[in-house]
Amino acid sequence: MDGIIPINKDRGMTSHDVVARMRGILHTKRVGHSGTLDPNVDGVLPICVGRATKVVDYLMEYGKVYTGSITLGYATTTEDLDGEVVETKVIDKPFSVSEIDEALQSLVGEIIQIPPMYSAVKVNGRKLYEYARKGETVERPSRKINVKSFVQTKPTVFDEEQHTQTIFFKVECGKGTYVRTLAVDAGKFLNVPAVMSDLTRQSSGGFNLSDSVTLEQLEKLAEQDEVSTVARPLSYGLRKFPAVTINAEQWELVQHGGFIKIKDEHRPEITIMYDNDIQAIYMLDERYDLYRPKKMLLAR
């Protein structure tokens, strides 16, 4: 089959675990995920199957929405609850709503973020977590990310016995954002160590939790031959591009990667439709006022 299936991932599973399980359920090797979701995080994980694996990169360009909590008063090696505590600071008086709002707002917009050591970002051909597990540190490349909004969702909780304070948040952000690091940076703004203490991905690739199914539900659907009821077509991942239907003569050119003329069309990128299916992504070559192939998705 070809399509995109939004999975509601359970905690305790890696994204690779989900892919491996789906290969077994769907009896195909052409399965890939659109953006890693850490084992201790649950929520939406869009999975591409068959030809749809070719649009993984485009799905990742859609924004993501997370809800969770940040606990102030201590920090860990992994920036979440999985790591060892490396710093503590007693909080005797809880931060006010306005102080927390200011900290979160300071991280909204286009900002520079340094990925955590416990991450899959590669440096010199090795993933950062491989260095971290050996106790090694390396210079991490900074990256530009975009945070659309970062707000509190309910009143904070101050623990007088533990001398910690927990913030509940919702964040809308672009690809490449480490929410764990946003949590730590919010703490830095308040001059206290912080850790991401809970996280759920509510939306990714244009899919919400309400659109998603668990692996157990998918298994049952597969047994009943009803997987198609929860799968979206490949075109769903490319819906931001205008779709142009071509004729048989143009189709002959497209099959061989040829340039084509699209009358009255001058948008930078389009999807090519033929036989009621997306066959390619084409981009405008302004030198010749023709469209040329950017990515081939031939269905036949």
Active site residues: 38
| Distant-in-sequence contacts of 187-192, Cβ < 8 A, 24+ apart | 187/70, 187/72, 187/75, 187/103, 189/102, 189/103, 189/106, 189/107, 190/72, 190/95, 190/99, 190/100, 190/103, 192/72, 192/73, 192/89, 192/91
Q: Which amino acid is at 94?
A: P
Compute the distance between CA of residue 167 and CA of residue 183 in angstroms, rounded to an integer.
10
Compute the distance between CA of residue 83 and CA of residue 138 in angstroms, rounded to an integer.
18
Name the strand (E) or helix (H) holding 105: helix 97-105
The sign of the dihedral angle between the CA atoms of 84, 78, 80, 214 is negative
Compute the distance between CA of residue 25 and CA of residue 255 in angstroms, rounded to an integer.
33
Cβ contacts of 188 within 8 Å, gap of 6 or more: 194
Compute the distance between CA of residue 58 and CA of residue 54 in angstroms, rounded to an integer.
9
Compute the distance between CA of residue 167 and CA of residue 196 in angstroms, rounded to an integer.
10
Structure tokens at 165: 């304070």
